[in-house]
């Protein structure tokens, strides 16, 4: 056997991602908001690209919105679909999405402190310090001893200022913890309940676990009285400062609209908010009129990148439309009946119909939202597994089963709620074979407690 180095030629076939394919993949997986950021970034890096914002005057009439339509008909059991692109803003008004509530909890409390005329200057400083040490839930996170030493005052004076803080609006602010927050609200409530106060103070965990019998035996009251106290406690607000959150509200801009029409559905790929890209003619003139210009290669490379980007955007729109049109075709019962009509469907089902790879369908549906006659949904919600029906080839989607569980529990007898085994029997009587463990899993996914914790007395 001869060992050594040798030169030879060999032909191999392998998949290579071209720059155009890589860019198409990236553009396809972007959501509406991510796409806006991406396009602005590309326009900043490529001088050949010109970017034009498409938002119009929100007071402009619909007749001036400049809508263009391209009819693309698909036969889906008698339904038709239309691809519609926007050249302006008709229904979507970004001004409506601005939050006007800019008042913070700190400003709200300091304004109330400024109206308390009986306070001394040092007491105002102490209150401002306490307000500055509130958590996002409105709980006081400073040690009273440390505050007293910091301001060289007695503990009683600090506690007095904490009492003043806890008297401000919203009631419950300045509490030490959840128990303290609920007790403050209860003391200020017009319908004071002694049993509710005791339960909050000593048995909040037992209340959460619905150990009503234990509480009733401890205080020689009936289970019904404990139940009534529990209902009263639930009217209190465990997060009284939540509406002062500094987090910005995130609005969802649907990537696709599906509207019901007489002869089918109108599918709209929403590009009304996306900026429009075009080629700057100054640079194309350089290529045409200045063949010897040293900047020619630079311009040519950026011009190719710009053309690829514009072509990739067009391909994204068409792919989203095709995927949505196929989903509408496959899930017509959903668009008529809602979640109850949703049937099991996988990415593979759509990829085989469109002759596209599953990864392409996955990217097209990732982080995308669709506005339907039944409400706003993630595109991924249409892809669910299913359970077989008894003595039938039909399957039922997991979302449909969860919706039925929610309805059954909402309508159950609260004194004798359905156990997981009972729910399992109900489904089997209706022809759906499902295990008790699966029922329990779906119930927990819905955030619904077990039958013992749903029971009322």
- Each residue of 359-394: pLDDT tens digit? 889 988 988 999 999 889 999 888 887 766 655 556
Q: How far is CA 34 from the centre of its chain?
A: 15
Q: Rounded to an integer, what distance in angstroms lies between the CA atom of residue 265 and that of residue 157?
A: 69
Q: Which pLDDT band, with edges at 50, 70 and 90, does 32 fall under?
A: confident
Give the residue-averaged pLDDT of 318-346.
88
Higher confidence at residue 75 or residue 189?
Answer: 189
Range of lowest pLDDT (126-135, 153-162, 223-232, 384-393): 384-393
Query: Looking at the predicted structure, is the pLDDT value of residue 286 above 80?
Result: no
Give the residue-averaged pLDDT of 75-103. Answer: 47
Among 163-177, 276-290, 385-399, the range with the most confident prediction by mean pLDDT is: 163-177
Q: Tens of pLDDT along 240-280?
A: 888 776 555 667 778 899 998 888 889 988 877 777 888 88
The set of long-range contacts for 90-96, using a CB threshold of 8 Å and a minimum separation of 24, is: 90/62, 90/65, 90/272, 91/272, 92/253, 92/270, 92/272, 92/273, 93/58, 94/55, 94/58, 94/273, 95/58, 96/58
What's the pLDDT band for 20 if we cut at 50, 70, 90?
low
Pseudo-torsion of CA 107, 112, 115, 121, nearest 10°?
A: -70
- Average the pLDDT over each of 100-109, 131-140, 434-443 and give the range with the smallest value: 100-109
Average pLDDT, the chain: 80
The most confident of 2-11, 29-38, 328-337, by mean pLDDT: 328-337
pLDDT at position 65 over 50: no
Helix-strand-coil split of the chain, %, nearest 5? 50, 10, 40
Residues 6+ apart with CB under 8 A from 399: 339, 342, 381, 384
For a pLDDT cut of 90, what percent of the chain falls above it? 22
8 A C-beta contact, residue 219 and residue 198: yes
Confidence of residue 159 (pLDDT cuts 50, 70, 90): very high
Nearest-angstrom CA–CA distance, 24 and 318: 12
Confidence bin at 18 (pLDDT 50/70/90): low
On whether the CB atoms of residues 365 and 375 are closer than 8 A, the answer is no
CB 270 within 8 A of CB 384: no
3-class secondary structure, 22: helix
pLDDT band of residue 324 (cuts 50, 70, 90) is very high
> What is the pTM (predicted TM-score) of this model?
0.62
Handedness of CA 300, 306, 307, 312 (dihedral sign): positive
- Determine which of 18-22, 367-371, 433-437 has the lowest per-residue pLDDT on average: 18-22
- Give the confidence band of 5 by pLDDT, cuts at 50, 70, 90: confident
* Cβ-proximal residues to 70 (8 Å cutoff; 6+ apart), any chain: 82, 83, 84, 85
Distance CA(209)–CA(58), nearest Å, equals: 52
Higher pLDDT, residue 71 or 119: 119
* Cα 231 to Cα 210: distance, rounded to the nearest angstrom: 12
By three-state DSSP, how is residue 269 classified?
strand
Task: Please tell me the predicted confidence (pLDDT) of residue 189.
Answer: 87
Give the confidence band of 68 by pLDDT, cuts at 50, 70, 90: very low
Closest CA to 310 of 16, 18, 24: 24
pLDDT computed for residue 320 by the predictor: 92
């Amino acid at each position: 056997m001869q060992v050594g180095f040798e030169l030879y030629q060999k032909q191999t076939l392998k998949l290579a991602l071209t720059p155009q394919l890589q860019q198409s993949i990236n553009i396809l997986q972007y959501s509406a908001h991510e796409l806006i950021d991406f396009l602005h970034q590309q326009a900043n890096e490529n001088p050949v690209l010109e970017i034009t914002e498409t938002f119009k005057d929100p007071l402009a009439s619909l007749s001036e919105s400049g809508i263009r339509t391209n009819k693309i008909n698909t036969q889906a059991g008698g339904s038709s679909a239309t691809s519609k692109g926007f050249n302006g803003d008709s229904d979507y008004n970004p001004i409506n999405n601005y939050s006007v509530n800019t008042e913070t909890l700190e400003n709200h409390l300091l304004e109330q402190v400024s109206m308390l005329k009986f306070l001394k200057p040092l007491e105002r400083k102490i209150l401002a310090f306490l307000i500055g040490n509130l958590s996002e839930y409105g709980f006081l996170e400073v040690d009273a001893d440390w505050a007293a030493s910091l301001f060289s005052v007695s503990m009683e004076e600090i506690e007095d200022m904490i009492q003043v803080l806890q008297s401000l609006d919203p009631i419950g602010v300045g509490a030490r913890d959840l128990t303290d927050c609920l007790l403050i609200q209860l003391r200020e409530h017009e319908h004071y309940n002694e049993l509710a106060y005791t339960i909050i103070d000593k048995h909040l965990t037992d209340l959460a676990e619905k150990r009503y019998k234990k509480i009733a035996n401890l205080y020689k009251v009936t289970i019904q009285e404990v139940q009534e106290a529990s209902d009263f406690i639930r009217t209190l607000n465990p997060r009284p400062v939540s509406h002062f959150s500094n987090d910005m509200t995130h609005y969802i801009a649907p990537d696709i609209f599906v509207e019901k029409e007489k002869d089918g559905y109108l599918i709209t790929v929403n590009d009304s908010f996306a900026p429009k890209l075009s080629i700057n003619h100054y640079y194309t003139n350089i290529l045409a009129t200045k063949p010897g210009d040293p900047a020619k290669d630079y311009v040519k490379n950026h011009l190719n990148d710009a053309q690829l980007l514009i072509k990739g955007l067009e391909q994204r729109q068409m792919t989203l439309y095709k995927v949505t049109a196929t989903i509408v075709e496959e899930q017509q019962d959903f668009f008529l009946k809602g979640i109850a009509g949703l049937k099991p469907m996988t990415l593979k089902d759509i990829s085989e119909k469109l002759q596209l790879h599953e990864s392409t369908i996955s990217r097209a549906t990732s982080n995308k939202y669709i506005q339907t006659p039944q409400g706003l949904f993630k595109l991924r919600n249409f892809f669910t597994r299913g359970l077989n029906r008894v003595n039938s080839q039909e399957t039922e989607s997991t979302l449909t089963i969860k919706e039925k569980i929610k309805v059954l529990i909402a309508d159950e007898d609260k004194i004798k709620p359905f156990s997981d085994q009972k729910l399992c029997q109900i489904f089997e009587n209706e022809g759906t074979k499902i295990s008790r463990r699966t029922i329990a899993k779906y119930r927990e996914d819905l955030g619904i407690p077990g039958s013992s914790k749903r029971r009322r007395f």
